[in-house]
Structures are given as structure tokens and as C-alpha cells.
Amino acid sequence: MEVFGVASRLKGGIDIVTLSKDGKQIHGRYGLKVQPDCSFANSPDFDLLIVPGGKGAREQVRYDKESIAFAKAHATRARIASVCTGALVLAEAGILDGKTATTHWSALAILRQYPKVHVVEGVRFVRDGNVATSAGISAGIDLALEIVRELHGEQVASDVARDMEYRYD
């Protein structure tokens, strides 16, 4: 979120929208609470949908039929990316079928249980068509900067990284 927020502040024209299945507050790890802007039912069309990872993605969301259907529907008309174990949600939805993907090292064995996914390890992120997956939290920052670079150019991505005090190669 920080990468896209800084890019929006520096360049403009980037709207960030958070959502949950029912629009209710999400309780994340370590006490993080996110009050979504919308629910699945009233979400706008996205140019890019990012599926976060974590314990909830690994243990709950990838088994939730509404979440899987939402991701699948958006993957047909937008770019879709995952951070960390969000790749498991994409795999369960069939979005990674026939694609190369990665996830956090601790979940590579789970991702390999999806036989139609070509799993790679030892990389920060993978882009395959309109789908991108990243290995973990900091790798998600790398992926977000790559998306900003692709959409808005090298200078904007470099400026975002500099603003964040993030090493960007």
C-alpha cells in the first residue's frame, strides 16, 4: 500500500481501495485493523487487484468460495498480484493454472500441491502475463515497485523508492 500511496502522491492518478468480503473491518496479525472502503458487492472495477497473504490467506480465505469467486472474476479483466501466501488464494482459484509462481518459502510445499502451477523458489517475485506473485512481505514491495515502474516509468519507481528509503535495484 505504501508503494502505491507514495506513487499517487508523487504522480497522481492512482486510487487505492481496500475491501473485504462483507465490508467489515479486517483484523490482521499483530493487532492491525483495516477498515475497508467497500465489500465485494459494491467494489469498483480494478485495474490491479492485490491479494495479501498471511495466516488468514493460508488457513481461511483460500477455502472461502466467495473470495475465490471474486478473485477469479477479477483476474479475467484486470491484473492480479499476490503478496506472500496470497498466492495460495490465487492457486485455489485456478488463476495460477499453467503459470509460473512463487510464494513465501514456508508455503512452497503447499503451493506445489497445485499440480498445474509451475512453482519456483529463490526469487523475489514472478510475473506471468497479467498475474504476479511475490515471495514475502519485502518481496511484495519489490513487486509493487516493479508494477509502478511498468505503469509509470523508471523515474517514478525510483522516486517512490527514494521517498520510502527503500533500496531499489
Residue 15: its pLDDT value, please? Answer: 92
Q: Check: CB of residue 56 under 8 Å from CB of residue 30.
A: no
Per-residue HEC secondary structure of the chain comes to CHHHHHHHHHHCCCCCCCEECCCCCEECHHHCEECCCEECCCCCCCCEEEECCCHHHHHCHHHCHHHHHHHHHHHCCCEEEECCCHHHHHHHCCCCCCCEECCCHHHHHHHCCCCCCEECCCCCEEEECCEEEECCHHHHHHHHHHHHHHHHCHHHHHHHHHHHCCCCC
Residue 153 pLDDT greater than 80, yes or no: yes
Domains in the chain, number: 1
CATH number at residue 77: 3.40.50.880
Range of the domain at 28: 2-164
**Would you say how long the chain is, in residues?**
169
Interval 27-52 mean pLDDT: 91
Residue 134 falls within a domain, yes or no? Answer: yes
Residue 169: its pLDDT value, please? Answer: 67
Residue 169 falls within a domain, yes or no? Answer: no
Residue 29: its pLDDT value, please? Answer: 82
pLDDT tens digits, residue range 85-122?
Answer: 999 999 999 999 999 999 999 999 999 999 999 999 99
Residue 58: its pLDDT value, please? Answer: 80
From the candidates 57, 84, 89, 126, give the one annotated as an active-site residue.
84
Active site residue 38: no
Residue 14 falls within a domain, yes or no? Answer: yes
Residue 91 falls within a domain, yes or no? Answer: yes
Residue 9 falls within a domain, yes or no? Answer: yes
Residue 145 falls within a domain, yes or no? Answer: yes
